[in-house]
Amino acid sequence: MEVLIRNDFNTLKSCILCYPCNLEQTGKNKANQQVNKELASVQYNNLVNHIAEHGVKVHFVPLNGGPSQVFTRDIGFIIDDILFISKMTSAIRESEINTLKEVAETYDLKPHIMENYVEGGDIIVHNDGVFIGQGNRTNEKAVEEIDAVLRKHNRSTKLVKVSYDVSKIHLDCVFNVLDEDTCIITSGVYNPEEVTKYFKKVIKVTDEDAKDLATNIVQISKDTHLCSSENFSRILQSHGYQVTYIDFSEIIKCNGSLGCCVLPMQRA
């Protein structure tokens, strides 16, 4: 397995997934928000099928009992050809990184294991820059650690800190990148001027679409995306993108959507 992520919109070649067999709600949820596990599995299989149909090589990691293990995006991230293994904030998720350590050992990837708290959903790579969410899951010391690792590997990468509504869990639930010049953003980003100045085109997501985690897309390529908001899918289509709407309503009840379930390993 090769690892290479220079941005989040080049053609996806391989990724890591994990079936939602142990899926449980771990946050504060209303009684009427109980997860239908059978329906969640159907929706997840639909995601897997769409990814595979685009020729993406899928690697499944084994189950270890974690209730949020389906959200593989959080357990690590890649900047250029460097694999970082996250340090999870929630104790109930600490064991999830072990499966990524096993993948790294199997393929001799020599990862950097983070000492400070950071989760992959807070990391968005954009060519020579990286947007890093600053919420409850990723702290300032992690930004400094990432910077030190990149400098050690002679990478001149600009790190852009993004402040956001922590109730949305991760940065990719309030902001994302479609292509070289275009980003999507919600009102959940508190310093939007520090983000949007890097793009020629900014597509704003309504609060209603944000509830469906519209920004938490899977970028198959710069032109092709998977989205869990039916309305926002139509909006992106009106901007010329090929977008497939995927109903992910059951898994969204556990505070994550499509993008949270996909850990990109290589983009070409």
The domain ranges of the chain are 12-267
If pLDDT is split at 50, 70 and 90, which confidence band does 31 have?
Answer: very low
Q: Among residues 170, 88, 96, 103, which one has the least CA distance to residue 131? A: 170
Average pLDDT, stretch 32-53? 93
If pLDDT is split at 50, 70 and 90, which confidence band does 244 have?
Answer: very high
Q: What is the pTM of this model?
A: 0.96
CATH 3.75.10.10 fits 12-267, yes or no: yes
Render pLDDT for 125-166 as a digit per residue (tens, 0 to 9). Answer: 999 999 999 999 999 999 999 999 999 999 999 999 999 999
